[in-house]
Amino acid sequence: MKKFSVLAYLLASVTTHAQSQEIDPTSGLIIAEGWELASAHCGACHSYKLVTAQRGDARFWRSTIRWMQRTQNLWMIPEAQEQVLIDYLAAQYNETDWGRRPGLSQNLLPAR
Ligand code: HEC
């Protein structure tokens, strides 16, 4: 029963979300203009979740990319493509739509 209610909860939240945005099932990225660039460049070294869990404006995303290029061996992305990518990130993962999830229930937290 418990498993079932978790599933029902997940389904409910997925379907309510799906009304506003389509999510690529492989990467978890929101499908919108430029998402293929994020799919091509942003999942090679770490999970896409590291991307989708972040929020920020264009300046934030640009500096995150610069930081990875400076310190984490991220390759150069051609400028025109990079602009589309940053526009995508800033539009879909902007701090203004930062929605905090509800707190985890006690049984999901590490023991103290
Ligand atoms: C060449 C490898 C590489 C690629 C490709 C890459 N990253 Fe990263 N990125 C890293 C590393 C390494 C970290 C640090 C991971 C950690 O702290 O565990 C990181 C961290 C991050 C973080 C977290 C930063 C923070 O402050 O915690 C974000 C957001 C991020 N990357 C976004 C992106 C985006 C967007 C792209 C696509 C443009 C991308 N990454 C592509 C290597 C990469």
pTM: 0.78
| Ligand 1 contact via 66 beta carbon (within 6 Å) | no
- Ligand 1 mean position, distance from CA 29 (Å): 15
pLDDT string in tens for the chain (112-residue length): 566 665 565 555 555 544 578 999 999 999 999 999 999 999 999 999 999 999 999 999 999 999 999 999 999 999 999 999 999 999 999 987 666 666 778 888 888 7
Determine what percent of the chain falls in helix, strand and coil, rounding each to the nearest 5. 55, 0, 40
DSSP assignment of 1-41 equals: -HHHHHHHHHHHHHHHHHTT--B-TTT--B-STTHHHHHHH
Architecture of domain 21-97: Orthogonal Bundle (1.10)
Ligand 1: which residue has its CA nearest to atom 22?
A: 50
CA distance 6 to 23: 20
Domain residue ranges in the chain: 21-97
What's residue 104's pLDDT?
Answer: 79
